[in-house]
Amino acid sequence: MSQRRDPGRGPRRTPDPFPEPGLAALGLRPGDHVRFRRRADERWKEAVVVRRERDGSVGLRDAKGAARAITIEHLQVRTTGPRGGTVWESLAERAARTEQLELL
């Protein structure tokens, strides 16, 4: 009898405590949930942040598993509002705002 490995199992990755500098400058981390649309008459599509691209756009992975590179102006980031609900914030506004870094 041969042993089979379950492809879903394996060593668990811990989140990187030092995110890549390109995403950190925008206030993002790999795995953050965002939504995007290319035109104003399109529906919003949700995706997950993967990396920062060379041209300055953000690399995403959408719900179907497709890789996308979307400019900052077309993205909104999911955050928690003052009452605990989900709020979508423009990434361009978030990147322009200065925030204090998290302390370890």
In a domain? residue 104: no
CB 49 within 8 A of CB 30: yes
Determine the residue type at 96: A
Tell me if 101 is assigned to some domain: no
The structure's pTM equals: 0.69
Q: What is the residue range of 51's domain?
A: 21-96
Model confidence pLDDT, tens digit, residues 67-95: 999 999 999 999 888 898 999 999 988 88
Q: What is the CATH number of the domain that holds 25?
A: 2.30.30
Q: How many domains does the chain have?
A: 1
d(CA 27, CA 97) in angstroms, rounded, equals 9
- Asked if 54 and 48 touch (Cβ cutoff 8 Å), the reply is no
